[in-house]
């Protein structure tokens, strides 16, 4: 509102240190797992007002540096518990989001997911389908249609992600869950902002999940960087260095450059046709080689041996 009224340099925290104001702000994050900037601002304003009723704050008084410094103070306290409040930009709406993220996934915190082991196994199958089956050299979809997700309710064959196999010492032959149960899991994942469902009915990872699983996804689905011919299934944006599950790719299939829509637009802005060269391979960028559900328009490999077709592609890709 009246930005002019506020001093240029604002006193960030009137009395230094960690106070109830920070604890209350942290409570808000424990209650709502993900919040947009516009949701964070009024909360921070309320907290500041509660702290000092003589100096009421409005959402308009809250500036980005203020949020950042408050979060820094909280994160300094949280880091020894392996929690962190991270921020990221939504790949679709470009809004800044904040979420309380658990940095490890040890046995203790798995409880927090509220799901039974069979349901966790189902979620792993969904992730595998998103980032392996539906994420090939030619089709980087990284999303699942509802029917595809339902088909995963019962496990088909041995799971592939190596890490899961090691971790899951409890490989009790998993009978899977029923389709209605799977639907419930999906709905509750959508409710807890872990998955999102697009207008075209695709399930994909929501920003919160990307923040929380960033490490896990790369560890699970990307080969270690120094191995021979590493298969890289998950790549970061050339602009903002965050994971891309919805964006565009370099028109050169062998090139590893990926962009978020917005990041590419701002990078290529003002450059005419013929001048939009990929920063890595110099190939002209047309902006229509998609990553995400828009890539599902690309024809799937020949229907006959889809599995083998995928493998062939991957071999080609690693040349």
Minimum Å gap between C-beta 64 and other proteins is 20
Site string for other proteins, 112-141 (x = CB under 8 A): x-x---------------------------
Cβ distance to other proteins smaller for residue 39 or 183: 39
From edge to edge, which strands make up the β-sheet containing 247-249? Answer: 258-259, 247-249, 290-291
Secondary-structure percent of the chain, ordered helix, strand, coil, rounded to 5: 45, 15, 45
Contact between 1 and other proteins by CB under 8 A: the answer reads no
Cβ distance to other proteins smaller for residue 110 or 160: 110
Minimum Å gap between C-beta 152 and other proteins is 23
- C-alpha distances (whole Å) from 40 to each of 32, 59, 70, 300 are 10, 9, 11, 42
* Chain position carrying tokens 């939009």: 276
- Do 256 and 283 touch, CB atoms closer than 8 A? no
**Among 63-71, 108-116, 158-166, 238-246, which window interacts with other proteins (CB under 8 A)?**
108-116
Among 3, 156, 191, 307, indicate the residue that binds other proteins (CB under 8 A): 191
Cβ distance to other proteins smaller for residue 39 or 236: 39
Q: Catalogue the long-range contacts made by 194-199 (C-beta closer than 8 Å, 24 or more residues apart).
A: 197/146, 198/143, 198/293
Tokens of 178: 């029923």
CA-based nearest residue to 248, from 271, 265, 232:
265
Cβ distance to other proteins smaller for residue 35 or 205: 35
Near other proteins in 58-87, by CB under 8 A: 77-78, 80-82
Near other proteins in 22-51, by CB under 8 A: 23-28, 30-32, 39, 42-43, 46-47, 50-51
Among 96, 164, 188, 222, indicate the residue that binds other proteins (CB under 8 A): 188
CB atoms within 10 A of CB 56: 12
Minimum Å gap between C-beta 298 and other proteins is 31
For residue 2, give every residue at least 6 positions away whose Cβ sits within 8 Å of its Cβ, in sequence order, or none: 60
Gap between the Cα atoms of 237 and 278, Å rounded = 13
Alpha helices in 52-178 (DSSP H): 64-78, 107-110, 117-128, 146-151, 162-167
Minimum Å gap between C-beta 191 and other proteins is 7
Contact between 107 and other proteins by CB under 8 A: the answer reads yes
Cβ distance to other proteins smaller for residue 21 or 97: 21
Gap between the Cα atoms of 97 and 117, Å rounded = 30
Contact between 98 and other proteins by CB under 8 A: the answer reads no
- Summarize as ranges the residues that interact with other proteins (CB under 8 A): 18, 20-21, 23-28, 30-32, 39, 42-43, 46-47, 50-51, 53, 77-78, 80-82, 107-112, 114, 188, 191
């Amino acid at each position: 509102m009246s930005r002019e009224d506020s001093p240029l340099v604002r006193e960030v925290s009137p009395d230094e240190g960690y106070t109830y104001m920070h604890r209350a702000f942290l409570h808000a994050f424990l209650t709502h797992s993900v919040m947009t900037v516009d949701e964070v601002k009024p909360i921070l304003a309320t907290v500041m007002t509660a702290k000092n009723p003589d100096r009421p704050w409005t959402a308009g008084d809250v500036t980005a540096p203020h949020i950042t410094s408050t979060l820094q103070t909280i994160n300094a306290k949280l880091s020894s518990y392996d929690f962190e409040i991270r921020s990221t930009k939504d790949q679709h709406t470009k809004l800044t989001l904040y979420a309380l993220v658990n940095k490890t996934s040890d046995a203790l915190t798995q409880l927090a997911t509220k799901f039974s082991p069979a349901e966790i196994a189902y979620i792993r199958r969904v992730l595998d389908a998103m980032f392996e089956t539906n994420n090939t050299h030619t089709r980087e979809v990284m999303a699942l249609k509802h029917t595809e997700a339902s088909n995963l309710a019962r496990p088909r064959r041995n799971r592939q992600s190596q890490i899961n196999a090691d971790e899951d010492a409890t490989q009790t032959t998993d009978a899977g869950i029923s389709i209605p149960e799977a639907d419930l899991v999906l709905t509750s994942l959508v409710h807890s902002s872990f998955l999102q469902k697009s207008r075209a009915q695709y399930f994909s990872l929501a920003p919160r999940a990307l923040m929380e699983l960033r490490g896990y996804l790369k560890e699970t689905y990307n080969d270690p960087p120094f191995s021979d011919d590493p298969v890289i299934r998950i790549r970061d944006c050339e602009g903002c260095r965050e994971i891309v599950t919805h964006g565009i790719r370099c028109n050169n299939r062998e090139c590893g450059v990926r962009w978020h829509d917005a990041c590419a637009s701002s990078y290529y802005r003002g450059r005419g046709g013929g001048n939009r060269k990929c920063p890595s391979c110099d190939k002209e960028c047309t902006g229509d080689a998609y990553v995400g559900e828009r890539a599902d328009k690309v024809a799937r490999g020949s229907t006959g041996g889809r599995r083998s077709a995928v493998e062939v592609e991957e071999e080609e890709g690693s040349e």
